[in-house]
Amino acid sequence: MAGRRRAWGIGAVGLGLLLPLAGCGGGTATDSARTEVQHLLDRRSAALLHHDERAYGATGTRTEYTRLRALPLASWTYRVTAVSRTSSGATADAELSYRVAGYDRAPVDASRTLTLGRAADGGWYVTGDKPAEEAGQQLWDQGPVTAVEGAHSLVLGTGRTAAQLRAYATLADRAVPAVSRAWGTGWSRHVVVLVPRSLKDMGGLLGSPAANYRGIAAVTTGEAGGSGRAPADRVVVNPEAYAVLGDLGKQVVLTHETTHVATRADTTAATPLWLSEGYADWIGYLGTGRTPTEAAPELTRAVQDGHPPAALPTDQDFGFTSDPTKLAQAYESGWLACRMIAGHWGTARLDAFYRAVGAHGRRAGAVEDALKKVLGTTPGAFTGQWREYVRAQLSRTE
């Protein structure tokens, strides 16, 4: 989601702008300004971390301080990459890196564009701090952040009261031990949940059109193929879709997303979405008492109408812009595949299969090798067994 500003073209106009900035000794006024702005942002970061509002205000606008004061920060730094003069001051491109205390093992990076004014004494001060072009928003860009910490969770929201966010923390605190019981404890066993004000704001956080997430209750950020040193993923809630769910549905959603956080280090480019999403649903539904026909209503309807699936879903079938019915059937198909593995080969083999696929390193041959080595079967036999399982589980009972 990080964006990059377009570089200056080197032409007559560009040279006309750059030549007056040249200085003696091989340095330039641009270099000097960049150093000055870096020092300014270093002071601003230190003031934020030390909760010194007065010192922060001395560096410019206090808007971000007010919005960020509830966020528990372990680190906060800017690295200035470019400074461009304007008629009223300057703009600076910078890479922001920060860590949430107790949750992030490595910094979260965000590209930012800052506007700067020139003080009477010649120094710089910050007048604005926003996402760089094409970069996603951070939660504080949308307003003051409210934070609620649970036993295993940190819930951050905008436009929400602490009492409203506490309900999310309660469900997340149940999700973490549920995931650990199934997957194991070799992960952080903490989760960060972001609750924006609206679906539009959710899209802003993810750097994508809000319409892509209209029927999605929550998503988990994070790049597949992480080394385990990546910062904690964020579970981003769609408050509009989430609100229409019942208590059980809300719990399943947060347990599903927490599973993605737990399995991130073992989820790579080799892992197909039917496995990663199906496994997350498998843990999400554990212990709920939901039957296959209750948990897979769209696939049940297709089977009972004489249209059972012929093959496991592809990654494209999980696109958020796909037909809602087909999207639901993709998730339900993946869930039933993982449920079948757990029922036929055992939960330990299911976990081993998941890890083996991810450890392959590349998509080609990953599932095939894991099927052979862990489950002792072939893709053709597995698909045939899954098709029979789907029909048996979802057909009408006489």
Q: Is residue 12 predicted with pLDDT exceeding 50?
A: no
pLDDT digits (tens, 9 = 90+) for 78-112: 999 999 998 889 999 999 999 999 999 889 999 99
Residue 308: strand, helix, or coil:
coil
8 A C-beta contact, residue 132 and residue 5: yes
* Average pLDDT of the residues in 160-165: 96
C-alpha to C-alpha distances, 167 to 137, 234, 243, 377, nearest whole angstrom? 25, 17, 12, 44
pLDDT at 396 (0 to 100) = 63
Which of 179-183, 218-222, 350-354 has the least mean pLDDT? 218-222
Query: 185: which residues sit within 8 A by CB, 6+ positions away?
Result: none
Q: How confident is the model at residue 397 (pLDDT cuts 50, 70, 90)?
A: low
Give the amino acid at 224.
A
What's the mean pLDDT when you consider all of the chain?
89
pLDDT digits (tens, 9 = 90+) for 32-56: 899 999 999 999 999 999 999 999 9
Domain ranges of the chain: 23-135, 145-260, 268-398
Q: Is residue 127 predicted with pLDDT exceeding 50?
A: yes
Q: Is residue 28 predicted with pLDDT exceeding 90?
A: no
Q: What is the CA radius of gyration of the chain?
A: 25
Query: 331: which residues sit within 8 A by CB, 6+ positions away?
Result: 277, 278, 281, 318
Sign of CA dihedral 58, 62, 66, 68: negative
Q: How confident is the model at residue 9 (pLDDT cuts 50, 70, 90)?
A: very low
pLDDT at 22 (0 to 100) = 31
* Average pLDDT of the residues in 58-82: 97
Looking at per-residue confidence, does 143 or 24 come out higher? 143
Strands 89-100 and 108-118: antiparallel
* Average pLDDT of the residues in 191-205: 97
What distance in Å separates the CA atoms of residue 242 and residue 240, rounded to the nearest whole number?
Answer: 5
pLDDT at 280 (0 to 100) = 98
Q: Is residue 218 predicted with pLDDT exceeding 80?
A: yes
CATH of domain 145-260: 3.30.2010
Q: How confident is the model at residue 304 (pLDDT cuts 50, 70, 90)?
A: very high
Q: Is residue 193 predicted with pLDDT exceeding 70?
A: yes
Question: Is residue 352 packed enough to be buried (19+ CB in 10 Å), middle (13-18) or exposed (0-12)?
Answer: middle
pLDDT digits (tens, 9 = 90+) for 240-260: 999 999 999 999 999 999 999
Architecture of domain 23-135: Roll (3.10)
- Quick one: what percent of the chain has pLDDT higher than 90? 82
